[in-house]
A and B are shown apart, each in its own frame.
Chain A
């Protein structure tokens, strides 16, 4: 966080801490509602803003928790604190089940599925006898601390806001950590995550459950501060309202959750006071006026209030918090196979896309310590071949062996974890993340800290190791001085080099590079060639697709030439250059 950001944060915390001393009881109660709403919105910023999963069902999770705790405390006389555990368990389990069922959905199907379960769950509440059907449950006991009963808004205030503060701190830590970087990479697609050994589905699921648990805490607080629950505060309309809060505040920043919830409650309350002064039917105009104000906000700040603020030069989520400098051991490196031992063997690889054969019975092998080039005219099937080797696409037939293991049917992330790291023809970087964070993603499979440890900052040593590793790789490619810039600000050619650094952070045995030199200037190409040769000297094997013949010929030990999906010829550069078939098929009259 920037220094300015810290000052603002400290000021907000101080203001919030003092608020009950100056504000009336109702205003404190309203702030409590803001806190309860902001918890749900925080989950939505995380889920929708960061993770890219739009949810129209968060209110259902609020409801599950609220009803769970209400039911346990009213019918079984349990303590609300026990209710919290039960509520979180109920929310967590439901979120897990729903997530496992629906999170594989792509595109517009996923948001629609959230409408489906969100709507169904709130309808179910009204049809369960034990939950008081449509009339709900009343006389829910208030929260208590020891013997003190938290019935007044002022006393609950000092519970709600510390909980929100903790949640905020937790999520903030989380986003600046190993699992957080994976979460922030979700929008880049499952292939990107799998290429660093992460399981996008699992990341989505944990993210989904985390957001649901935040809604769950909110629901528990709701039940015990309102002390009455009924189905309608948890229906689709309520879910939409939470989403409006998150959007009004700004989905791009965690603080957007707080700002959005505050804005929505404040505006609604002010409208309720103001409109009756303007018109006899003012009471009915609330909704209309709110909608108009909301539309006006979107016209001027489609990134929400925080988007408005950050345009004026504030921090973004994941502006790096630099770990304190304390020496830590470097991340463990894997032992590389001895040069010359068999590394990769492709046998009879075939890939159909419907009727089109993109790769037709291609076989080749490479040994550790080699740089092998895969060349061929446009459409020869090189990139498809790469996708088959790395497991990005399933093979139609054939076999691939890597480090003595059959990986023909292994998922991409397992192959990545075995030590095969790749770059992409169409760059897959997170443009809004810093260079450092992008590279740090590469070390995902080498590190362990999960969401809980990261959120609680128990991951400091490992984070520092990751940081050091990422800096080392950035230094290697000569971008260390730009470590904190956004990756999207780099020219496209340089972004390709950055992908190499990310691949290197995975400590690979084999580096699979898809057109790394495209878009580079002459000196940059020379530097890249130099880097790759150094890597070979360090024992890393490289498989490369490249169009720049001069660059490839100088670099590689051997070439595999493909044409129309089939292998044409294989051999050292000089031999390939002299081959007639290659000349006619590919190089034409210019050997």
Chain B
């Protein structure tokens, strides 16, 4: 600890020297903890890339430099909590951003509360009684509601569910069972599988035996393609629905033809170029893509990197207001409090996924403008209004 702290100081000093005589005023510090390894890394790695993009897109706030510190939580909630402690206590960050996986995000939120440091979550989670935390991701309910509305429009009466046997699978299922009955749709099956299962034949057979009009899937990334493949192979003819967790190019690659025609709810960033010209998030979403390409030398094609980009935008907006509202310097408890209050008074900040309005007592800050329904057609996401 002592040694590693010395190393950190040395590194910080070297970094400062390299940056030449920088700003005299204290830099803002952002602590990002994401899953760069382990089962959640398919979300965590894009999160980190999106954050690097954001740093390049908006490196200064009110003339102050922003330092970004990235830690890996290896998809482990305990490590996520420890990382949050490290970022707060050792690095004295002004804001925490993270992470993939609900349990890990919950662990971070607990520490954020204890350490009186604002946290911007990039995953849909709902910490109870925690005034220090907001989330830029859409609430799962909002996204699933859109899917249910579409099912209703398509005349679906019964739906079978298949999702991950993890927190994400639970969230989507809970959201589905909450609104489906009000739309006159009954949920007839709740099947689960693990991310690295080899097959879901058993689960899918059970669903097919119930003859539901449609199947809703609660997976994410490439492992989320497994039910699509099994349903296609076993000759299921009904509609298949999904949600934003599934949306990335690797899903299309793995699902192949089996994913064709699937309807999913997602943030508008995925189909930014197809949005009407006056859509509020269109401009920033296209700018994000451009910046992403420049920083990561690859096009942005997933929803996750955009979340961390949005988190940065929310932070930047709040920090700018906090800096002008208070005399407190970044790195102090007073500033963190001011920043939290500023985040809670966020008004119409336009991000890639939606338009953000946070208020005290609520975790989420997006509305219907943060969701669209897209259809997978021949390997492309098509806006399906």
Contact = CB atoms under 8 A, between A and B. Distances in A.
Interface of A: 23-27, 29-31, 33, 126-127, 133-136, 138-139, 151, 153, 222, 226-228, 230-233, 266, 269-270, 272-274, 276-277, 283-284, 286-287
A30 B89 contact: no
B102 A24 contact: no
B383 interface: no
Given A33-B82, A226-B81, A283-B36, A274 B110 contact: no
B317 interface: no
Contact of A135 (B2, B11, B70, B170): B170
Contact of B8 (A30, A133, A227, A273): A273
B289 to A, nearest CB: 22
Contacts of B82: 29-30, 33
A232 B77 contact: yes
Contact of A284 (B11, B37, B86, B127): B37
B103 A135 contact: yes
A376 B107 CA distance: 73
Interface stretch (B161-169, B224-232, B241-249): B161-169
A127 B173 CA distance: 13
Contacts of B106: 135-136, 138, 228, 230
A272 B72 contact: yes
Nearest to B128: A139
A134 B70 contact: no
Given A29-B82, A126-B166, A283 B71 contact: yes
Contact of B90 (A26, A284, A287): A26
A398 to B, nearest CB: 55
Nearest to A273: B4
A29 B114 CA distance: 13
Contact of B167 (A31, A133, A273): A133
Contact of B3 (A29, A136, A231, A270): A270
28 contacts: A25-B89, A26-B85, A27-B1, A27-B2, A29-B82, A31-B1, A33-B78, A126-B166, A134-B103, A135-B103, A135-B167, A136-B167, A138-B106, A138-B127, A153-B85, A222-B78, A226-B78, A228-B107, A230-B77, A230-B106, A232-B75, A233-B76, A233-B77, A266-B4, A269-B4, A270-B4, A272-B72, A284-B37
B281 interface: no
Contact of B165 (A126, A153, A270): A126
B37 A277 contact: no
A230 B103 contact: yes
Nearest to A230: B103
What secondary structure prevails in chain A residues at the interface with B? helix
B100 interface: no
B78 A134 contact: no
B48 interface: yes
Contacts of A24: 1, 5, 89-90
Given A25-B89, A26-B85, A226-B78, 9 more contacts: A133-B167, A136-B77, A138-B127, A227-B114, A228-B107, A230-B107, A232-B76, A283-B48, A284-B41
A479 to B, nearest CB: 49
A228 B166 contact: no
A69 B168 CA distance: 25
Nearest to B78: A233
A73 to B, nearest CB: 14
Nearest to A276: B70
B28 to A, nearest CB: 19
Nearest to A241: B76
B1 A269 contact: yes
B74 interface: yes
A284 B45 CA distance: 9
Nearest to B86: A26
B233 interface: no
B129 interface: yes
Given A283-B72, A286-B74, A287-B74, A274 B4 contact: yes
Contacts of B77: 136, 228, 230, 232-233
A29 B85 contact: yes
B19 to A, nearest CB: 15
B7 interface: yes
Contacts of A25: 85, 89
A286 B3 CA distance: 18
A383 B1 CA distance: 60
Nearest 7 A/B pairs, CB to CB: A230-B103, A26-B89, A27-B1, A134-B167, A283-B72, A283-B36, A270-B4
Interface in B164-190: 165-171
A524 B85 CA distance: 68
Contacts of B127: 138
Most chain A CB inside 10 Å of its own CB: which residue of B11, B71, B74: B74
A287 B88 CA distance: 23
A30 B167 CA distance: 27
Nearest to B48: A283
Contacts of B109: 138
B72 A286 contact: yes
Contacts of B165: 126-127, 134
Contact of B1 (A23, A127, A227, A287): A23
Contact of A283 (B70, B166, B170): B70
Nearest to B10: A277
B142 to A, nearest CB: 18
Interface in B67-101: 70-72, 74-78, 81-82, 85-86, 88-90
A135 B165 CA distance: 11
Contacts of A276: 70
Given A26-B86, A30-B82, A134 B1 contact: no
A24 B91 CA distance: 11
A266 B1 contact: yes
B4 A286 contact: no
Contacts of A272: 71-72, 86
B114 A232 contact: no
Contact of A228 (B45, B81, B129): B81
B42 to A, nearest CB: 13
Nearest to A277: B11
Contacts of A233: 76-78
B80 to A, nearest CB: 10
A328 B190 CA distance: 70
Contacts of B88: 26
A31 B82 CA distance: 11
B331 to A, nearest CB: 15
Contact of B2 (A23, A127, A222, A226): A23
B66 to A, nearest CB: 17
B36 A284 contact: yes
Nearest to A25: B89
Contacts of A133: 167, 170
B128 A138 contact: yes
A136 B37 CA distance: 21
Nearest to A19: B1
Interface string B1-23: 11111011001000000000000
A27 B48 contact: no
Of the listed residues A27, A139, A283, the one surrounded by the most CB atoms of chain B closer than 10 A to its CB is A283
A135 B102 contact: yes
Q: Which of B74, B102, B103, B107 has the most CB of A within 10 A?
A: B103
A475 B274 CA distance: 95
Nearest to B72: A283
A266 B4 CA distance: 9
Contacts of B129: 139
A30 B85 CA distance: 9
Contacts of B81: 226, 228
A25 B167 CA distance: 31
Nearest to B125: A135
Nearest to B108: A228
A273 B91 CA distance: 11
A269 B1 CA distance: 7
A139 B129 CA distance: 9
Contacts of A33: 78, 82
Contacts of A230: 77, 103, 106-107, 167
Contacts of A27: 1-2, 5
